[in-house]
Amino acid sequence: MPDGPQTPRMFGTAGIRGRTNIDVTPALALRMSRCLGDHLGNEGNVALGRDTRPGSDMLARAAAAGLQSAGLRVQDCGIIPTGGLATWIREKHCDAGVLITGSHTPPDRNGFIVMMEHGGYIPDDEAVVLEQMYDAADQRAETIGADRIGACILARNPLGLYREILLRSCDLRAVAARKFRVLFDPCNGAASYVFGPLFEQLGVAGVPSNAEPKAVPDRATEPRAHNLAKVAARVAAEKCDFGVATDIDADRVLFVDDTGRVLSEDLVGALFARDVLKKGSVCVTPINSSNLIEETCEELGARLEFCRAGQPATVQRILELKADYAYEESGKYYFVRDAAWCDGVLATVKMLDLLVRAGKRLSELADEVPRYAQVKEMITCPDGAKATAMERIRAIWEKEGLEGRRGDLTIDGLKRSYGDRSWVLIRKSGTEPVIRVYADARTEARARELVEWGKGVVARATGSGQ
C-alpha cells in the first residue's frame, strides 16, 4: 500500500462529476447511494436535493431508490441551493445529504455530492471508503429485506427554513432601513426560488436577471467576470447598490459594485476577511488564493493557513483548526460562525450587513483594498494522463524558475512564491480534464510572465508543442 492517505478516484474537489447519463448515470447514483446507506449502518435520515439542469430529477430519483434500498429514510428537499440543503441537514439533524448538481459546469454535465452531518462535503478519507464499497458492491455483507426498506418523504418547506436561517445572519432592521437596491442573477438555477422572497423579507428592492428557473440557463454557468459583462452593465444602468451572480447551485457568487465594476473574488475575500477577522483569528484558504489575503491577514494580526483546493479540503481544515473564516478564489465564502459551508446567498446577506455597518458604497470599500493581478490559464490534458504529466512537470520545476524564490508549497500541485509577493501555481484540475497554470502578482505583466513560464513547463512535459 502506498505511503500517506489515499486520494479518491471518483470523487474530485466537488463530488463525482461528469457528462449526464454518460459518466454520471442513474446506475451510478443508485449504487453509490446504496453504498452510502451501508456506510451509515443502514439506518438514519438523509436529505436529498438537486439543481435545475437536465437529468437532475432523474439522478435524484435513482439516488433516493439507492438510499431507501439501504434502509435510510430520505427527506426530499427538491430543487434547492447547496446552502439550503446544508442548512436542512444541520437544522433537522440529518446523518448525511446527497446533492445532485453540476454547480458551475455546463448544463450537459452533472454531479453526485455527499454532504456530512455538519453540512460540508464528505472528506477525502471517507470518499475513499465509499469508492471501495462501490467497487465491491456485488459482495455486500447484507441485503436489506422488505421490512427494513427506508421511506422517502417530501421535506416540509425547506426553502422557508433556509430563508429563516439567512435572516438571522444579519441586522434585519438596519438592512431594511438602508433601502438597498440589488440586482440578482441566479443563472436560472436553484437560487431562482430564493432571492426574490428573501429580498422582500429583507426590505431590499431586487432587480432580477436570469431569474426564471430553466434546465438550460440563459448565460454561461460559471460566474466569472468574462461571463458577466451584460449583468455588470445592468447594475450601473439600474442604479443598484451592487449586483450578485451565482452559479446554478449558488455555492459560488461574484459581486458587481455600484459603478458596474466586477470585483475579483480575492478582493471580496479580503473585504469579508477585514470584517470578520481580528488579531489571533484563523483564516483558511486554498493555495490558489491571491497574496492579497496574506497581506490582509498580516495587517490584521490573523493567522493564515493554506489547504488544498476544493470544498472537502477547505471544510476539513476549518474544522481541524476551528477557523473563524475561509474563502476560495472561485467565489466561495465560508462564514464559519454561521455555517461550515460556502453559500453565495449567505455571502450576499453578509455583504448587505457589511455595507450597513461600514456606511459606505461597495465601490468605496473596494478602492481601499490593495490591487493584485491574477492570470489564469488552462491546458487540456486527459484525466488519465494528468498524474504522469505532473510527475514530468515536477522534474523540470525542481531545476528551473528558482531565481528570487521565497518558498515552495506542494500540498496541491506545485506553487512557488517569490520575494516580490508573486507566485505561480501548476496543478491538475479535480473537476475537468485540464492542467491549470495560475499566477498572482502586484502587476499583470509580472503575473503574465510567470504564467507563460509555467505554460512552457507544461508544454515541454506533455509534448503539447506550446
Tens digits of per-residue pLDDT, 326-339?
999 999 999 999 99
Mean pLDDT of 255-279: 97
Q: How many domains does the chain have?
A: 3
131 shares a domain with 63:
yes
In a domain, 2, yes or no: no
User: Between these two residues, 130 and 433, which has the higher pLDDT value?
Assistant: 130
Question: Cell numbers of 127, please?
Answer: 470518499
What local confidence, expressed as pLDDT, does residue 383 receive?
84
Q: What is the pLDDT of residues 53-75, one digit of tens each?
A: 999 999 999 999 999 999 999 99
- Residue 3 scores a pLDDT above 60: no
Mean pLDDT of 90-95: 97
What local confidence, expressed as pLDDT, does residue 462 receive?
85
In a domain, 5, yes or no: no
The chain-wide mean pLDDT, for the chain, equals 94
Which secondary structure element, helix H or strand E, spans residue 417, and what is its range?
strand 414-418
122 shares a domain with 60:
yes
358 shares a domain with 380:
no
180 shares a domain with 113:
no
In a domain, 11, yes or no: no
Q: Are 75 and 104 in contact (CB under 8 A)?
A: no
Q: What is the pLDDT of residues 107-116, one digit of tens each?
A: 999 999 999 9
Which residues are catalytically annotated?
Answer: 103
- Phi, psi dihedral angles at 401 (to 5 degrees): 65, 30
Q: How many helices (H) and strands (E) in the chain? A: 15, 19
Q: Which residue among 136, 155, 174 closes a domain?
A: 155
What local confidence, expressed as pLDDT, does residue 8 receive?
80
Return the percentage of the chain with pLDDT > 70, whole number.
98
Q: What is the pLDDT of residues 428-452, one digit of tens each?
A: 986 678 999 999 999 999 999 999 9
Q: Which residue among 155, 172, 204 closes a domain?
A: 155
Model confidence at 142, in pLDDT bands (50, 70, 90)? confident
Q: CA torsion, points 185, 101, 14, 20, in degrees to nearest 10?
A: -120
Residue type, 64: A
- Residue 102 scores a pLDDT above 60: yes
In a domain, 57, yes or no: yes
Question: Cell numbers of 400, please?
Answer: 528551473
pTM for the model stands at 0.91
Q: Which residue among 128, 155, 182 closes a domain?
A: 155
Q: Cell 453578509 maps to which residue? A: 350
- CATH code of the domain covering residue 231: 3.40.120.10
330 shares a domain with 279:
yes
**Which among 131, 13, 129, 105 has a CA at the least distance from the CA of 413?**
13
What local confidence, expressed as pLDDT, does residue 141 receive?
66
414 shares a domain with 314:
no
216 shares a domain with 325:
yes
What local confidence, expressed as pLDDT, does residue 2 receive?
36
Q: What is the pLDDT of residues 198-223, one digit of tens each?
A: 999 999 999 999 999 999 999 999 99
What local confidence, expressed as pLDDT, does residue 14 receive?
83
Q: Are 7 and 105 in contact (CB under 8 A)?
A: no
- CATH code of the domain covering residue 452: 3.30.310.50
131 shares a domain with 165:
no
In a domain, 66, yes or no: yes
335 shares a domain with 205:
yes
396 shares a domain with 347:
no
In a domain, 6, yes or no: no
Mean pLDDT of 243-255: 97
Model confidence at 140, in pLDDT bands (50, 70, 90)? confident
Residue 404's domain spans which residues? 373-462
195 shares a domain with 270:
yes
169 shares a domain with 142:
no
Model confidence at 365, in pLDDT bands (50, 70, 90)? very high
> What distances in angstroms separate CA 457 from CA 228, 398, 404, 417, one per listed residue?
32, 11, 18, 16
